[in-house]
Amino acid sequence: MSTLDNAIAVAMKSIPECVAGAYIDMTSGMLLSCKTLDTHPQEVLDMVAAVTADMFEGPSIRHIEAAFAKSRGESNERPRYFQEILVFSTNLLHVFIRTKKYPEHVAVFVTTRDANVGMVLAKSRMAMDGVVAAL
């Protein structure tokens, strides 16, 4: 098990009702680490990185970010306004957090829908330093 895998496993233990964790490099499109309590088909896991990149870096998001930058008079060609995304599915809560040190990297934590959203978000944020330090 790699250091990053260990860091994801430690983070999962600290996040209430966490059932999965992953770390994605959106530049390469690679899923660098993935830990789940259940088994999933490889093709589903392979899609996680692509979907994450679409949510943070897709053409519509980039267009919105450019519009925000323009309206604020900023010249930054690729501003990063969207730092965290929460997705509520039928049974799960998915937390996507862009890392501060590596803005092209995103950590993903999945919990049951019954978990306290505030605690999940707080604990996910708290886990980020340990995850990034494992790189």
**Residue 77's pLDDT is what?**
67
Render pLDDT for 39-74 as a digit per residue (tens, 0 to 9): 878 888 888 999 999 999 999 988 888 888 888 888
Beta strands 84-88 and 92-98, pairing class: antiparallel
Measured in residues, the chain has a length of 135
Interval 92-108 mean pLDDT: 96
Mean residue pLDDT of the chain comes to 92
Cβ(74)–Cβ(48) under 8 Å?
no
The pTM of the full predicted model, rounded to 2 decimals, is 0.91
52-56: list long-range contacts, CB under 8 Å, 24+ apart: 52/24, 52/26, 52/96, 52/106, 52/108, 53/24, 53/26, 53/29, 55/85, 55/96, 56/26, 56/82, 56/85, 56/96, 56/98, 56/106
- The better pLDDT of the pair 38, 99 is held by 99
For the segment 105-112, the average pLDDT, to the nearest whole number, is: 98
pLDDT at 79: 66
Q: Can you say how many angstroms the Cα of residue 7 is from the centroid of all Cα atoms in its chain?
A: 14
Q: What is the pLDDT of residue 35?
A: 95
Domains of the chain are 3-133 (3.30.450.30)
Model confidence at 134: pLDDT above 80? yes
pLDDT at residue 39, rounded to an integer: 84
